[in-house]
Chains A and B, each alone.
Chain A
Amino acid sequence: MRNYKNVIAAYSIMIFLIILVGIFQSWSIALTILNYCLISAVMTIGANIQWGYAGLINFGIMGYTALGGLAVVLVSVEPVKKAWQVGGLNILACIWIIIAIIFVVKFILNRFDKSKLRNYSVAFVILGGIILLRVTAAPGIEAIESVDPAKTGFLGGMGLPVLFSWIFGALLAGGLAFVIGKIALGLRADYLAIATLLIAEIIVSIIKHEEWLARGVKNVIGLKRPAPYEIDLQTSEWFINLVTKFNSSKLNLINSISDKQEALNQMVIDASSVYVKLCFTGLFLTVVIILLIVTQKALYSPWGRKMRAIRDNEEAASAMGKNIVKEHLLIFILGSAIVGLAGAMMVTNDGLFTPGSYRPMRYTFVIWVMVIVGGTGNNFGAILGGFVVWFLWVEAAPIALFLINLFTSHLPETNAVRVHLIESAPYFRFLVIGIGLLLIMRYRPQGIIPEKIIKQ
């Protein structure tokens, strides 16, 4: 128990902070922050598996997150039948063409020896394939995008319950990681970072601009939810009764019946949003706990030891007969799949898919700061990092605003410096995160909760 003292202390402080937000701002905001903390925690578990366990640097987190979000659209949205009728065949044909290209390239690579002729023929096949793809797809895409463009204009999804999309998102991200891993894992660490960053950018730009797929920058709104809707709750009797029961002492203080009814209505509206967020919290917490148990077991299993050995000394591990390339690929896929799951969770939580919002700052670098600040190689640390950094990211602006007001209170309201500072309060979050990262890197490079290796 003694060993876990700092872990327990750190988490209690974190929960205390969130409760403070609940008291001072509102419970709804506190729960929003908590939900995002949990989602961030899932992302950091994924990044930590790659960086902490195996030492792989993956700056492509944004791409997997976006892919997870795409999965939600592809799984949960009702299919647009008309779009399938007008353009579905073209799209299906394109999928077959892509598969054919891959097989032909594979065949050429396997069958012939390395030579200039082989390179040229591979290039020719790929280039010809792309032209063929464009010719096949163009009329289909045009037809699909013109089907009721204000509302749909895309193929839609499978119309399944939204929770399936979490699994599908993980699979999709894992599949992509397989391809990228095959291509890029041989690179040296900083090149891998740049390559993954750029590949993620490509993925996001495809999602942004292929409108037949998920409406691109036009966004998909009103996605399904695994939790009840506020409006249903507000009209259901059991919920109103529940709220009345909880607040009976407050309500009893109000004398007039109309005031009482009004107060009750307000309480029901507030409570319904809190209730929905609590449902999400429950779901996310389940995911985090399951992942934590699994990753913790994996970390202290022979497999985890093998990964650490590879991380710390590749040559030695390779001399012991471990297949480094295979293990790296496996862990790259696993980590990315978890990030994809987090991406799907996030879009489910928001209820909308906005490809334009995927930016490397927010979805790659902030996640990396979380892992480094929390503690690389330690799952508790990574999750804590997710909590701390997300909390700072959200609360930095209000705190900065408070401090600015405090320090400039002797200046008049119209003072230019004061007005300028108040306007730029939201950007203090970058400052806080950046300075936090630099301080941690300098004075506590292992993170808040450092890696702990249990000797068996």
Chain B
Amino acid sequence: MDFLNAIIVLFNFTVIPALAYGSQLALGAIFVTLIYAVLRFANFATGDMMSFGTMFAVILTYYFQSLGFGLGVLPTALLTIPFAILMMILYMLMIDKFVFSYYRVKKSPPVQFAMVSVGVMFVTQALIRIIIGPSDRRFLDGEKFIIKATEFKEMTGLAEGITLKSTQAITIIVTLIVVSIMFWFLNRTKTGTSMRAYSDNEDLALLSGIDPKRVVLITWVIAGILATIGGVLYGLDKSYRPFVYFNNMLPIFAAAIVGGIGNPFGAFLGGYVIAFAEIFVTYAYKRFISYLLPEHLEPDSLLQLLSTDYKFAVSFSILVIVLLIRPSGIFKGKVI
């Protein structure tokens, strides 16, 4: 019984949150990696683009709520995602047309692209703050929990319970659906293959008649979908705050590089690697151990490797280590 309790404690406080957080990171990391693979630059506006898409979802959610629309037990935000994606893609294509395409035609070095994306980051951040303001917003409605700890305890008769928030379940399910559709698209369809060809060798792809404009357009469309969904899921799970989204860019970058930048599957797993590392290193194992050990051996301290203040620092340290030991990432991305 104690052993079961220990497992459940671990599951409830580390595995479930890490899976949800990892899914959110994974969507962002695939976004970064796609842009890197096809358009060949590190996009420093990642976090703010995700925030931009989420902003539309938040505004539309409020609007739908005022009209009385809703999905019952599911959050209204899910209904708004398609509209938000549309706005996001429009914004991205506009940015691409007015900003990035010029440098792509000129074949500028990646550093210049990165600096330009910093400019885009500033503009996007300004637009977000002017439109919706910097404050913290919750836009979750519908049922909050799928399983509550007390219900679980009654059901099983264990001392520890499992809490499954609906946002966590939605996050994991939606991520799996989106990512599988995306991989199917990239690997099985003709357009996806042409995208991969363009990413592998631009000249050869052009030679075989692939239209670069179309590839770029589709990349932005997929990027818009990923960015918006990732952003909305994160916002539903925690809350929507522009500044936090900007900060999230850093673990997302870490996930993309750890997974091997330019490799979407690597980025997907990288998201979970970072999330699990962050949570496992900063989790206090006291309760877990106390179930396993006999009573007189119970530990006094929290048994925490690092305090939760250093959550971000953990992912960054992993990134630095990976960059040093294996710069192409765990799953072999582009060779640097």
Contacts and interface: CB of A to CB of B under 8 A. Distances in A.
B98 to A, nearest CB: 8
Contacts of A57: 111, 114
A413 to B, nearest CB: 20
B114 A205 contact: no
Interface in B66-123: 99, 102, 109-112, 114-116, 118-123
Contact of B120 (A201, A434, A445): A434
B122 A441 contact: no
B111 A190 contact: yes
Contact of A434 (B110, B121, B323): B121
A199 B110 contact: no
Interface residues of A, number: 41
A319 B324 CA distance: 26
A191 interface: yes
A435 interface: yes
B253 interface: yes
A365 interface: yes
Given A189-B111, A201-B313, A441 B125 contact: no
Interface SS of chain B: helix, strand, loop or mixed? helix
B123 A430 contact: yes
B193 interface: no
A184 B257 CA distance: 14
B288 interface: no
B13 interface: no
Interface SS of chain A: helix, strand, loop or mixed? helix
A193 interface: yes
B129 A430 contact: yes
B257 A191 contact: yes
A438 B319 CA distance: 30
B207 interface: no
Nearest to A396: B126
Interface in A170-197: 183-184, 187-191, 193-195, 197
A433 B316 contact: no
Interface residues of B, number: 43
A209 interface: yes
B122 A433 contact: yes
B115 A206 contact: no
A17 to B, nearest CB: 21
Contact of A205 (B110, B313, B324): B313
B26 interface: no
Interface in B282-336: 307, 309-310, 312-313, 316-317, 319-320, 323-324, 327, 336
A369 interface: yes
Contacts of A199: 316, 320
Interface stretch (A252-260, A286-294, A322-330, A421-429): A421-429
Nearest to B36: A190
A198 B250 contact: yes
A398 to B, nearest CB: 16
A188 B41 CA distance: 12
A330 to B, nearest CB: 21
Given A187-B327, A190-B42, A441-B119, A201 B250 contact: yes
B25 interface: no
Contacts of B157: none
A260 to B, nearest CB: 48
B127 to A, nearest CB: 7
A444 to B, nearest CB: 13
Nearest to B124: A434
Contacts of A372: 115
A369 B118 contact: yes
B42 A198 contact: no
Contacts of A193: 42, 111, 114
B257 A194 contact: yes
B254 interface: yes
A199 B320 CA distance: 8
Given A198-B319, A205-B313, A424-B133, A188 B336 contact: yes
A21 B265 CA distance: 55
A279 to B, nearest CB: 34
B123 A205 contact: no
B323 A431 contact: no
B130 interface: yes
A219 B11 CA distance: 38
Contact of B119 (A188, A190, A201, A437): A437
Interface in B245-265: 246, 250, 253-254, 257
Contact of B133 (A191, A423, A435, A445): A423
A198 B320 contact: yes
Interface in B157-205: none
Contact of B313 (A206, A421, A433, A435): A206
Interface in B137-151: none
A187 B313 contact: no
Nearest to A205: B313
B336 A191 contact: yes
B123 A442 contact: no
A205 B124 CA distance: 26
A197 B254 CA distance: 11
Contacts of A428: 126, 130
Contacts of A445: 112
Interface string A360-380: 010001001100100000000
A208 B309 contact: yes
A242 interface: no
B103 to A, nearest CB: 8
A424 B116 CA distance: 25
A428 B250 CA distance: 25
21 contacts: A187-B336, A189-B109, A189-B110, A189-B111, A191-B327, A194-B319, A195-B323, A205-B313, A209-B307, A209-B310, A368-B118, A372-B115, A429-B126, A430-B123, A431-B126, A433-B122, A434-B119, A434-B120, A434-B121, A434-B124, A442-B102
Interface of A: 57, 183-184, 187-191, 193-195, 197-199, 201-202, 205-206, 208-209, 361, 365, 368-369, 372, 421, 423-424, 427-431, 433-435, 437-438, 441-442, 445
* Closest 9 A/B residue pairs (Cβ): A434-B122, A430-B126, A431-B126, A434-B123, A427-B129, A437-B119, A198-B316, A209-B309, A438-B119
